[in-house]
Every structure is written in C-alpha cells, then in structure tokens.
Structure 1
Amino acid sequence: MITQKLNDQITRIGPDTPAGAVHRQYWQPAALTDELAGANDPMLPVNLLGERLVMMRDEAGDLILATREASADEAPTHHPAREEIRLVEGGPVYPVVEKNGICFAFMGEGEAPAFPNFDCFRAPESHVFAFKGLWECNWLQALEIGIDPSHASFLHRFLQDEDPSDGYGKQFRDKAANTDMPITQVLREYPRPDIEVDETPFGLKITSLRHMKGGLTHVRVTNQIFPSAICIPMSREMIITQWHVPVDDENCYWFTMFTSFDKPVNKELMREQRLKEHSLPDYAPLKNASNNYHYDPEEQKSLTYTGMGMDINVHDQWAVESMGAIQDRTREHLGRGDAAIIRYRLLLRKAIKAVQTGKLDRLPMQDMQTTPQIMGPLSNDAIADSDDWLGASMAADMERRQAAPWDATV
C-alpha cells in the first residue's frame, strides 16, 4: 500500500513529471519500421510520453521526432491524415535510431546514452521480428504484470496441453529444457514459485523456482530492463524483449522484439498471427473492454482460465485494463509473490531522486563506456536437479547460445 502522492509520482509521465523525466533519459520505442514502409518522405504521427510528435526526415535524411500541433478532438492514439499535420515552429526535435524493426527516440537532456549489447539488438535482422499493441492503461501496471512470475500459472493457465510443434510464434507452447513436459503443464501443476530478485547493471534479474516431484526444480529466469522493459523466454528457440511505452498517463503501447537463437524468424507468419488480433493503423486489439474481450464461459470450463482465447496478450490486457486507467495502489497489499514489483518500485524511486538531484550517472545503463558491454540477458526455462538449479539454468542458456548461427556469446 502506498500513498496517492507516491502513486502519482511513479505513474505520471508528462514533460514535467518525476517518472517522465526518468523515461526521457532512455531510448524509447516510438514506431515500428513497418509503419514507415513505402513512404519516401514519412510524416508519421507519434504520441509519446504525453507529447504530440511526428516522425519525419530532416534535411540530412535522418529520422527525427518533431513537435506537432494536436487537434482539440484528437484522441491519444488517433492518427490524423498527413496533410493535417502542422509542426510547432521552434518546438523540440528528438533524434531517432532504427534497431531491428523498431525506431527508438531519445527525448532527454544532454547526450543520448549508448545502447546495451542485448541479444535483440545484436542478432541479425533475419532473426528478429518486431510488433506492437495498444493497451488502454498506465504504463506501470503494464510493466508490473510482466515482472510477476506467479501470474502465468493462473492468468495463462491452459487446461489442455497442445503439441509444442504446433505452437510456433506463441508463448508457453514449448517444452522446458531437458524434459518432455510442456511448459503449460509445469505452470499449471506448480503454481506457487519461490521468487529470487537480484539487481543487475540493466535492472533486475528475476528467478522463479517451481519445486517439482522427484527432486527436480523448474527454473524460469526473466528480467526487468530499466526503466520499462522486460526480457522473458518465449520458447527454447526465442526470447521476447518488450517495452511498455507510455503514450500518456492512461494509455501505453507494448513494443516487442522476438529474437531467435535458431532459425531465421518466420516474420510473415508471426505478423499474420498478430494482425488477426489487432487493427491498423493504431495496432489496437480487436478484443477489448467494449466487447468483453470475447469472453466465452464455455471455453472457460474446459480450455482456458480466462475464457478469453489462446492469445496471452489478451489475458494480460484484460488484467491490466480492468484495474482502471491508473491502478489505485493505495488499496493494494503486496506479499512475497510481489518481490520483483517491490524491488522495481524502489529502483524507480532511486532513479527519480537521481534525476532530481542531477546525478544521472547513478541511473542504470547511462555510462557510455560500460553500457555497450552489457550483454544477454539470460532468459530461459529449464528443469534441473534441485541441488544444482543455478548451474543447470546457466548451462541451458550457454548451450542455446553456442548453437546460435549468429554471435550470441556472453
């Protein structure tokens, strides 16, 4: 339970807000490269961190974000026609860098920080697929569900186990390393993990341990990448790196890079899968509060915990949007299962203080020399003997990296 003042401090992201100032010191996903495809002179409206912007090319041909005027009736995610766009003369201009399908913008003070050498950035373009989706809620509750390891055993509980070979491009459709047990079965049968949280140079490493029969432990390693991203295993082949990007105080986009350690990603299939669930140009989900997320009580009886289909993004969307535009944390009661959320909020409050006191060097990943040396992070599922779960988890990650067709070594 926290005060309303503190809840406002850590959720609101406008230009003059504490959390907004922290976000502006990091590269933020602003658009998909796909959104610029086919435009020789792109004028793409972008709403980011409470500002109305347009992505365009400057006189040198470089992508930038420039400030634009917003019409009085413009909704936060509305894409006005290009001929309606009017730039604000003398307004801020922000640099843009394209990385494997996502255009990142820096909206902070001083020199932009370096990018870490994460797998999603150093893998070749052929092995990374990028997509995004709109959630109508504050960015923080979107992030916090991603760093809650316990929720997968309930919110994403599948009552039947599919053949993992039919689950390409879908999360929780694989077998845990070193076993024939589907991940869906592991999560269902062992729903209450022990959770360990360690601070790292990029944020937090979150290890959830599901102690199984026969002296075995299921180890799932996920990560919080400061300020608003996660890195989690999707399957033995892929990991997901996902940013929860504030549009304004009450809307956010998730931007995801799917990175393969094996074969090149089937981008056409993965895009087709996700466009069945989203509309363009806003990338808004077709299942939403207006249609009760297509809830089906018959499905809930025998197939899924939520009764909202097989796409786990819809499960998460329902959970975070149902809390309200900005979650009321004055009424919450955090427990042992919320260890990562507690640690993250402390990290965010420390970062807010660092920015307010001008000590930007205390923020994660702000050193131009050391940040490019940050690699990984380790994100995987493994089942191992309980007395050596750490070694087994690291060995499973090394095995995958050594077999990768691109340089995935750490």
Structure 2
Amino acid sequence: MGAQDHDEDDGFSVELRLAGHDTRAEATLAYVLHPDLKSVRTRRLPEHGLAEAVALAAALPGLEMVGAEIVRLPKMQPGMLFGSGKVAELGARMKALDVGLVLIDGPVTPVQQRNLEKEWGVKLLDRTGLILEIFADRALTREGVLQVELAALSYQRTRLVRAWTHLERQRGGLGFVGGPGETQIESDRRAIDDQVVRIKRQLDKVAKTRELHRAARRKVPFPLVALVGYTNAGKSTLFNRITGADVLAKDMLFATLDPTMRGMELPDGRKVILSDTVGFISELPTQLVAAFRATLEEVLEADLILHVRDISHPESSEQAADVRDILTSLGVRAETPQFEIWNKLDLVDDTARAALEAQADKSARIFALSSVTGHGVQTLLDAISQAFEVTRSSEELHLDFAMGRAHAWLHAEGVIENEVLTDTGWTLHVRWTERQAKAFAAV
C-alpha cells in the first residue's frame, strides 16, 4: 500500500491484498461480473457499468483480465446472490478459465462472499473492496495511507463472518485465518476498534496541520480554485496544463489520489491557488467518503469550483449527476460559483465538437476544451480572471504603532489610497475586497 510510515505503537496495520499475497508479485487471473438487478433502477446502462468495472480492475496492478459479463438478476438471492443454476454455470466458466479472483460490481454481503468463494474456489471482491484495493495501491502520502487504512478497517469490521485474507500479520498481528469463532470475532473487532482510534488520532494531527495551512492561506488573500470531477475526467492533465506541474496524469481510473495544490498567475496578473482532488465515482464507498472528508475540505473552502467532465464519455451526463450528488453530500454551499469544463474535446468528431462549442458559447459558465491540446484553455483562464473581478469598498482605519505588522501587510497588499501619520500611529484610507478585509482581521 503506497509508502507506509507507521507509529511504533501500531499493533498491526491493514494491508489490502488479493488472494492473500502482493498483487504486484504475480498476475492473478480475474473475471468481472456486473449484476443487473431488474428491481433496482440506476442512471446507467448495464453495458456502461460493466465497462467501468473492467476499467476499475485494469487500474489495479497484478491482474490479468480473462473475461467480463453482465448477469441479469430477477431478484437477489440472500445466500449466494445468484440463483443456483447461474452459480453452477459461472462456476464451470471460472474453473475452465482457471480464474483466481472474481470481481462483482456491486455490494456483496459477507455471507454471499463466503459462500461464493467456497462454491467457486476463488477469492472474491465486491465494488467497495476493489476501490479500496486501488486506493491502497495509490496512496503515497502519510495522510493518504492513513485515510485508506481507516476506510479499510471500517469495511473489514463488517466482514468478520468469514476468514480474513486481507489482514496480514505484522509484528504480532492478529492472523485472521481458519474461520474465527464468536469469541475470536469479538476479539478481532476490539483490536480493529483500537486500531481505528490510533489512526483517527494520527489523522487528527494531520488535519490540524492542514487547518494551519488553510489559516495561513487566508492571511494571504489568494482565491482558491478547486478541480473536481468524475475519475479519469482529465483533471490532472488540466491541472498540469495551466500550472506547469507534473502531477501523475494517466488514462486510468483514480490516477490521482493525494491532493495537490499549486499557486498560479492568471492572465491579468492575479494570483490564485489551484487544487487538484481525488476523482469521484458512482457508488463511492461510504467508508472512503468519510475517510477522505478532511482532504475534500479543500473543496468546501473553494472560492470557485471547476467541475471537469469527460465530454467524450457516453455517460458524461450521468457522471456529472453523480459528482453533483457527492458535492451536495459533502456540504458544498449552493452559492459557491461553479464552472463546468467539457474536457477531452479532442476525442469527439468534428461535427460533435462544433455543436458542443456552440452550446458552451451560449453559457457563461460552460467551457469546452481539450487539456491535452490546450484548445480552449485560454478562454477558461480569462473567465477565471473575470470571476474574481470583485467589488471593492473604501474604509478608514486607525492603527497605533504597536500594529506595525498589520500596517506592513496593508502596504504589501497595495490597498492603501491615503496615509496620515499621527501622534499615536497611522490614519489610513484603504480600498479593498471583502476577502482582503477578512484576511486583514486575521493578521
């Protein structure tokens, strides 16, 4: 799992591993199943759901895909998810292909997981487990590793009904093997709870550091612009294009996990801070939303949100709806300005491109562009500059000589229109933005 850096008192740590070994050591033959439950209405076509599940699997190293299919389900069976006939049919296929791992694109209960693993002789992961595996592989920073561990523990705690292969022994760890009994399950649960407390304590320290950084940024009144969007929408490529950074940008789900921030100068000379965030996805595990909430707080603080969409994707509208739902659940204020970025324009044909650009031109908040070629990016930057052309107000301030730091700050900001030296300090006439006034109060 990325770069780990555990405290000395950690009794054990979570390692998400497929089939009980490091997925990067050897290839595991994998098969993807996308259940299509007739009684459940979703935004997406099952074919697109399957394609996304395959892309998720492809994002995890060490897997060799040998097949994928949609499984129509009249109703969900509590014991094995699928009916007995379908279980036997799929089992024969798994055996013929020598499948070692089955990925089910949807929720699977612990009982269903245990029964299917026993019936098919494979390891099985549901959608949540797969996304956790990907995040475990991608986490690089201390905070990212801790957040994934916290999410994994929350997920694993609910699955003590079966023998664990995901939690490995480390320095006298618990060794979850062989089907623990009730007493062992309770012991394991307590151990997990202890580890959760430790991780939360460490994350609290990280969160305090992050808040100190935010407080420092508030004193320097640079607007914060946050990039959000569905995973693989091209956020990191756009981030690199307009900041000159070298954030990992691949045609892969969840290529970016740890947030990145860069200062940049807009065409009019104004400085802003641009933040690249983890991509969203439909049915994002609740454990991950909770664990990464501190990271996503940058979005809550944003003065402008850039919602990046892969406009070439057949379900771009459905993906955008998922992103809006997650932003709402995070508590993003309705009044926070948002631009919609129709990215990957280079991947659509000429006719569609012309239509999209014409549609975007009719809106002041939609921008059609290609972050790969740079087409349309300058128009976006100009619009961001205009978005921060805010109203300035005039005010008279009286500062005594003890407030030299505040006096210097006002000069550095260039907001002083007139200044008179008095016996006790300075009388100043300033013209500033609301943001500058708030930042001054914190100096």
Shorter-chain TM-score: what band? under 0.3
> Larger relative contact order (C-alpha < 8 A, sep ≥ 6)?
1
Structure with the bigger percentage of strand: 1
Q: Which has the larger radius of gyration?
A: 2
Structure with the bigger percentage of helix: 2
- Give the TM-score taking structure 1 as reference length: 0.25
- Give the TM-score taking structure 2 as reference length: 0.24
